[in-house]
Amino acid sequence: MQIVKQLETISDAQRGAVVALGNFDGIHLGHQAVIGEAREKAKAARIPSGVMTFAPHPRRFFNPQGQLFELTPAPAKSRHLAALDIDVLFLMPFDATLAAMPAEQFVSDILVAGAGVSHVVTGYDFVFGQGRKGDVALLKQMGEANGFSVTIVAAVTSKEGAPYSSTVIRDHLKQGRPGDAAKLLGRYWEIEGEVQTGDQRGRQIGFPTANVDPGDFVMPALGVYAVRVGIVEGDNTDWRDGVVNVGRRPTFDGEGITVEAHLFDYNGDLYGKVLRVAFIDSLRPEMKFDGIEAIRAQIEKDCAAARIVLEACSTDNDAVSP
């Protein structure tokens, strides 16, 4: 997958694509239906398939100090899109200029003059432009006037009839329900980040942990989870079983939220490496203990419980379909 961040750099081969348009935070099954529609139309016409999305997320731009909410910040989103067999990712910088751009100008300057789209596919509820005044009706009207087609994908629902929703997925995670989030995502949800030097208390207890920088990801409910941990090595990811603690380490009066992963049966050096922590199931909420021995005993129980949970799971999160 090729990534275009500035439309001034677009090549002739990347122009004229069938483009799925949206924020696509989470790349959940509803998003995948929109992207899949664009991909299939592109294949049928033998032209490039593309996705146009924005970084940072518009909500982050307008409220930079607000609570973390993104399910898939730009690097994670790019990787998930590449797995969907998309030819070109148009990763548009959402800045003051784009925020102030009227919807009509977005179509004429970005979609037509910039990307030269031949067909746009988007969800039924997509809005765009200054003040979110552009909608799918305007997009279709301007497509007819500017020589590109528009396909609007209706709401995609689960077997129970509920629409797939990034908001619902966030709620599942914040309530400690990663399994329910996975059913809407079509894969296990992940936090991805570089391993940083911590205080090494886990090593002293007998359970060394990797302190993963959580970046801009939404934080799930504090507690302990059974996880798959992917060690990223170039284009390859080596998946391991483990447990992770998301919390403030109340026993040691810790401040700030940490993501500390313990990989089973692993003795390598992880400092500086990028880990993908895929949340499989919640084991327990965060707790405060009387001392080191009580912590060690509980971690042993957590590890035993996690091994049972993980025995039934796929070893590669990229191939998971819960």
Q: Specify the CATH number for the domain of residue 73.
A: 3.40.50.620
Task: Provide mean pLDDT across the span 41-60.
Answer: 96
Q: How far apart are CA 255 and CA 246, in angstroms?
A: 12
Residue 181 lies in a domain: no
Q: Do both 107 and 220 map to the same domain?
A: no
Quick one: pLDDT band at residue 65, thresholds 50, 70, 90? Answer: confident
Q: What is the DSSP letter of 109?
A: I
The pLDDT mean for the chain works out to 90
Name the region of 95 (left: φ>0; alpha: ψ -120 to 50; beta: rest): beta
Q: Do both 121 and 244 map to the same domain?
A: no
Predicted local confidence at residue 292, as pLDDT: 79
What range defines the domain where residue 291 resides? Answer: 189-319
Q: Do both 252 and 118 map to the same domain?
A: no
Quick one: pLDDT band at residue 137, thresholds 50, 70, 90? Answer: very high
Residue 166 lies in a domain: no
Residue 263 lies in a domain: yes
pTM, full prediction: 0.89
Q: Quick one: tokens of 214?
A: 């959580």
- Residue where a domain terminates, one of 126, 153, 180: 153
Q: Choose the weakest-confidence range: 31-35, 81-85, 112-116, 195-199.
A: 195-199
Tens of pLDDT, residue by residue over 246-267, are 987 544 444 568 899 999 999 8
Q: How far apart are CA 12 and CA 10, in angstroms?
A: 7
Q: How far is CA 207 from CA 92, 139, 231, 264, in A?
A: 43, 55, 18, 9
Predicted local confidence at residue 315, as pLDDT: 53
pLDDT exceeds 60 at position 319? no
The torsion defined by the Cα of 79, 83, 87 and 91, in degrees rounded to 10, comes to -30
Q: Do both 27 and 124 map to the same domain?
A: yes
Residue 164 lies in a domain: no
Q: Do both 149 and 21 map to the same domain?
A: yes
Q: Do both 96 and 222 map to the same domain?
A: no
Q: How far apart are CA 195 and CA 244, in angstroms?
A: 13
Number of structural domains, the chain? 2
Residue 42 lies in a domain: yes
Q: Are 185 and 27 in contact (CB under 8 A)?
A: yes
Residue by residue, DSSP assigns 143-184 as: HHHHT-EEEEEPPPB-TTSPBP-HHHHHHHHHTT-HHHHHHH
Predicted local confidence at residue 317, as pLDDT: 56
The number of beta carbons lying within 10 Å of the beta carbon of residue 219 is 16
- Residue where a domain terminates, one of 153, 180, 215: 153
Q: Do both 258 and 211 map to the same domain?
A: yes
Q: Do both 114 and 218 map to the same domain?
A: no
Q: Specify the CATH number for the domain of residue 204.
A: 2.40.30.30
Q: How far apart are CA 46 and CA 146, in angstroms?
A: 21
Predicted local confidence at residue 249, as pLDDT: 58
Task: Provide mean pLDDT across the span 94-121.
Answer: 97
Residue 68 lies in a domain: yes
pLDDT exceeds 70 at position 70? yes
Q: Do both 218 and 129 map to the same domain?
A: no
Residue 63 lies in a domain: yes
Q: Do both 232 and 286 map to the same domain?
A: yes
Residue 214 lies in a domain: yes
In the chain, the percentage of residues whose pLDDT exceeds 70 is: 92
pLDDT exceeds 70 at position 142? yes
Q: Do both 262 and 129 map to the same domain?
A: no
Q: Do both 137 and 9 map to the same domain?
A: yes
Q: Quick one: tokens of 134?
A: 């552009």
pLDDT exceeds 80 at position 205? no
Beta bridge partners of 176: none
Q: How far is CA 235 from CA 82, 86, 89, 140, 261, in A?
A: 12, 17, 18, 39, 22
Q: Phi and psi at residue 67, in whole multiples of 5°?
A: -65, 140
